[in-house]
Amino acid sequence: MPAAFSAASIEVRELRKHYQVHRRSAGLWAALRSVARRPRETVRAVDGISFSIAPGERVGFLGPNGAGKTTTLKLLAGLLYPSSGRLRVAGFEPFRREAEFLRKITLVMGQKQQLLWDLPPLETFELNRALYEIPRRQYDETLGELTELLDLGRIARSPTRQLSLGERMKCELCAALLHRPEVLFLDEPTIGLDVSMQLSLRRFVRAYNERFGATVLLTSHYMDDVLALCPRVVVIDRGTIRYDGDLGSLVRTLRPEKLVSVRFSAPVPPAEFGRFGKLQNAEGDRAVFLFPQDALQAGVARILAELPLADLSIEDPPLEEVMRELFAASARDEGPAPGGAP
């Protein structure tokens, strides 16, 4: 392989995964006709993507439903064979499924579990110790660290079926990380969890990354996961990459405005709002204004000087809105967003 492959934890070059699928219309006649002739079409789940991730990076892998995210993760984890292209993960070709490669990675999918339903998670932990041939001393040390980071306590000794969704997810992460993988593929790890448990898992992923220097590739529809964990994002849509770069740069490119949220200490007539800037919304004693970057300082100064304020905050537009705008632009011109790759 080229030398460039050895420097990265994950290296993908012109990766494709195409499927041949049978399509037919509804109805008896269409069903009978398909017996003799089965029209097929090619589904381009992943269509020539390229990116590189350095060791220890935390990268968000984003896209709408059906964009190719999970297919890409399965290709990187060696669960699928690519139609064409090249990829290396931790120095290995994933589809070969070599034992040493499997010891270096883990794939956690929020909607699938490996825990034994009627037994305590500790039994699954012991099973994984045997499967990965983890030395007892290393296993005890790693389990102790993960128990501390995840605050497992008693839950690892309770039958899995008695645990809440959040508790099961903690144990799933523990089971997946006992062999201390170098590369973590996390597919919707916080799906279905309450806000408190989402925060707990985000803290854990960051702590694991910082303690062990692990590379993290995360997919999530919760933008708070991405904001908390991923300085860089790779955005995929319809099987191709639409953006690869700094998350802040993506926000500033697509939505350069700032949101100024204010809470009033005294009533303000709604008719007055138009004098201060573009009003995003107003309700009760609160209002949100939208300012271009070059007008932000003057606009905020005027609000502070002329309105009775109890509170004021300045924020970027919500990441959900930025992503929606990116996907809308992709649908219009089928090209990369400004500043994106390729």
**C-alpha of 104 from chain center:** 20
Ordered strands of the 286-291 beta sheet: 278-283, 286-291, 258-264, 309-315
Which domains, from first to last, does the chain contain? 3-16+52-250 (3.40.50.300), 256-315 (3.30.70)
**Beta-carbon contacts of residue 339 (< 8 Å; ≥ 6 apart):** 243, 245, 249, 250, 253
Give the per-residue pLDDT at 341: 42
Is the pLDDT at 330 greater than 80, yes or no? no
Give the per-residue pLDDT at 338: 41
265-to-26, 168, 268, 269, 287 alpha-carbon distances in Å: 62, 46, 9, 13, 12
Give mean pLDDT, residues 5-25.
Answer: 84
Higher pLDDT, 186 or 317: 186
- Look up residue 239 and give its DSSP letter: T
At residue 104 the predicted structure's pLDDT band, cuts being 50, 70 and 90, is very high
Give the per-residue pLDDT at 216: 97
Give the per-residue pLDDT at 263: 93
Give the per-residue pLDDT at 334: 60
Higher pLDDT, 253 or 4: 253
Give the per-residue pLDDT at 276: 87
Least confident of 167-176, 185-194, 277-286, 331-340: 331-340
Give mean pLDDT, residues 110-135.
Answer: 91
At residue 333 the predicted structure's pLDDT band, cuts being 50, 70 and 90, is low
Burial of 12 (0-12, 13-18, 19+ CB in 10 A): buried
- The overall average pLDDT reported for the chain is 88
**pLDDT by residue (tens digit) across 140-178?**
999 999 998 888 888 999 999 999 988 998 999 999 999
Give the per-residue pLDDT at 131: 92
Is the pLDDT at 246 greater than 80, yes or no? yes
b (16+ CB within 10 A) / e for 197-212: bbebbbebbeebbeee
Give mean pLDDT, residues 80-85.
Answer: 95
Task: Classify 101 as helix, strand or coil.
Answer: helix
Give mean pLDDT, residues 231-250.
Answer: 92
Instruction: Report the percent of the chain where pLDDT is more than 70.
Output: 94
Is the pLDDT at 125 greater than 60, yes or no? yes
Q: Which helix (H) or strand (E) holds 263?
A: strand 258-264
Give mean pLDDT, residues 277-302.
Answer: 89
